Amino acid sequence: MVTATFALAGARGRRPFGRAARLFERNVVVYRSAWFVLVSGLAEPLFYLGSVGIGFGHLIGTVGFDGHRVRYADFVAPALLATSAMNGAIVDATFGVFHKLKHMKVYDAVLATPVGAADIAIGEVAWSLARGLIYSVAFLVVATAFGDIHSWWALLALPASTLIGLCFGGVGTAATTFMRSWQDFDLIQLAILPLFLFSATFYPLSTYPGGVQWIVRVTPLYHGVALLRQLTLGGVGWSALGHVAYLAGLGTLGVAIAARRLERRLLR
């Protein structure tokens, strides 16, 4: 029945990315009865915004940004928005994909239909960035209610969050194809935690030593944080295009690697 359903969907999905959309639709159906799993990830960044951005922010006062002083809560909020997009994308791109690949054998059944390995990679990354976007929408609403948004450029914050989801969804899915067991996921946490703490999330980049600044500049979350900070605080410059190109390029590369790796693992 499952095979026949996917075959029919593939036959009808003649438009570009149509077959990948069928895998996305499958994830929507699965999570329809587990919606609490989707919203559970909203809590952490909201707690940080309340405790660090607002509570601790009263002790710090203001910090420098783009040549002027801004409230610490306003400075931290876009960084936590970027973190929400990252967290939402990385969960499904890593744990979710590995579970379907290694244990549920979902993709083996899917490949019996017109859906191919590249379609699986695109569909899963699209789902992971959609989850990241759900987190971002909720966080942006709360941040706006708290008065942490100060520019009409913030209307582009959601497309920017989608780019962050694409970046981490693509890289996360590609990395997952190299995982051999659940123990390997300790490496994911080992990478995510330093990114969260040291991507100019809580402190301006200028506070880091010179050599460390260059390391921070090449990390993906920093580019997401810097882009959203410009959009929400109104300091948009030409560097924003560089952040967009970095996130889009790294995400696209991740999707390409994931598609190649899935094809090798499932069709060998």
- pLDDT, one tens digit per residue, over 30-72 is 777 766 666 666 666 667 777 776 677 677 778 888 778 888 8
- The per-residue pLDDT for 141 is 84
Which segments within the chain are labelled E, that is strand?
62-65, 68-71
Token digits of residue 4: 């026949």
Q: How far is CA 36 from the centre of its chain?
A: 19
Bridge partners for 71 per DSSP: 62
CB atoms inside a 10 Å sphere around CB 55: 11
Q: Is the separation of the CB atoms in 198 and 213 below 8 Å?
A: no
> First CA to last CA across the chain, in angstroms?
25
pLDDT of residue 150: 83
Any idea what DSSP says for residue 17? T
Domain count, the chain: 1
Residue 163: partners with Cβ closer than 8 Å, 6 or more residues away:
224, 227, 244, 247, 248, 251
What is the structure's pLDDT at 13?
A: 42
User: What is the model's pLDDT at position 42?
Assistant: 65
Residue with token string 């939402």 = 88
pLDDT, residue 147, reads 81
Question: Rounded to whole angstroms, how far apart are CA atoms 245 and 232?
Answer: 19
In terms of Cβ atoms closer than 10 Å to its own Cβ (0-12, 13-18, 19+), residue 122 is buried
Q: What is the pLDDT of residue 7?
A: 41
Q: Alpha-carbon distance 36 to 38, whole Å?
A: 5
What is the extent of the structural domain holding 248?
A: 2-267
Q: Are the CB atoms for 99 and 83 separated by under 8 Å?
A: no
Phi, psi of 149 (to 5 degrees): -110, 130
pLDDT for the residue numbered 267 = 78
* Cβ(78)–Cβ(85) below 8 Å: no
pLDDT at 37: 60
Q: What is the pLDDT of residue 88?
A: 84
Q: How many CB atoms lie within 10 A of CB 150?
A: 14
* Tens of each residue's pLDDT in the chain, 268 residues: 333 333 434 444 445 467 888 888 888 887 777 666 666 666 666 677 777 766 776 777 788 887 788 888 889 889 989 998 998 889 889 988 998 888 888 888 888 888 888 899 999 999 988 888 888 888 888 888 888 888 888 889 999 999 999 999 999 999 999 998 888 888 888 899 999 989 999 889 988 988 899 999 999 999 999 999 999 988 888 999 999 999 999 999 999 999 999 988 887 6
